[in-house]
Homo-oligomer: A and B are copies of this chain.
Amino acid sequence: MVEYVYLIMTDDGPKKAGIIIIGNEILSGKVVDANSSFLAKELRAIGVNLMRISVIPDDAGTIGKEILEFSETYDYVFTSGGVGPTHDDVTMEGIASGFHVGIVRHPELVRHLMNYCGGRTNAAVMKMAEVPEGAEIIDIGNAGFPLVSFRNVFIFPGIPQYLVKKFSAIKERFRCSPFYLRRLYLDAKESDIAEILNTVVAENRDVAFGSYPIIDNPGYKVVVTAESRSRERVDLSVEDLIKRLPKEMIVRVEKNDNQ
């Protein structure tokens, strides 16, 4: 059974991911989370399907339960936050309790912390060397402190500058086949195009369409997106849509083959 799960996870198809943002400061409105939108954009650009984002408090029990569930559901899990030296940093403790493993002090992290503090460490600092048993250390070269992973969970710090640096250093390992995205900017109310769009959607089930009303823009009122991993299929479906829409509604069509 376990082997079967691993077979699914290592096949060549598109991968699914989940993001868990850990931090009372986000839930209490003190800090605006920038990490989930950064990761969402990056994952899309490398072809990974992001399925869910959770923002949860600094509570070890909640963290462990959530990470375990994500780990069992998605190919990759990216967490942000809760890895510093203070009392509210309980991500490692949460993972250990959620996966029923112990906490160990990782020698490589001890070495990094000793270097970082010039030898002057204390108990609070050494907490940052503690990881769930079985965690791995990903040395990311000149991007600073190593990154810790546990099974399919990649444990990022909450500070956006560090998260960006670390994710950028390792992102190529997650790359899948790309998405092809088309955007139609329309000078029409969403309610005026809904029936035409619904027909095209029904006839192109393998293309993902989205429709987004835009407020206060003088040039266009709706953006319709079409997306697929097949360039041919997305282009055919967009041609189909363009043919059915009144010409005067179409402001412009954008192609993006890099995302």
Contact = CB atoms under 8 A, between A and B. Distances in A.
Interface of A: 21, 24-33, 36-37, 40-45, 50-58, 84-88, 117, 121-125, 127-128, 159, 161-162, 179, 181, 190-191, 194-195, 197-198, 201-202, 208-213, 215-216, 225, 227
When all copies of this chain in the complex are counted, the total is 2
A187 B222 CA distance: 48
B40 A26 contact: yes
B32 A37 contact: yes
23 contacts: A24-B210, A25-B212, A25-B225, A26-B40, A27-B50, A27-B53, A29-B45, A29-B50, A52-B54, A53-B53, A53-B55, A84-B190, A84-B211, A85-B190, A85-B194, A86-B194, A86-B198, A87-B197, A122-B191, A122-B194, A123-B195, A125-B191, A159-B215
Q: Is the interface of A mostly helix, strand, loop or mixed?
A: mixed
B52 A28 contact: no
A213 B84 contact: yes
Contacts of A45: 29
A216 to B, nearest CB: 7
A27 B246 CA distance: 31
A29 B42 contact: yes
Contacts of A40: 26-29
A123 B45 CA distance: 36
Contacts of A201: 87
A85 B191 contact: yes
Contacts of A211: 84, 86-88
B53 A57 contact: no
Contacts of A125: 191, 194
A52 B55 contact: yes
Contacts of A208: 24
A124 B37 contact: no
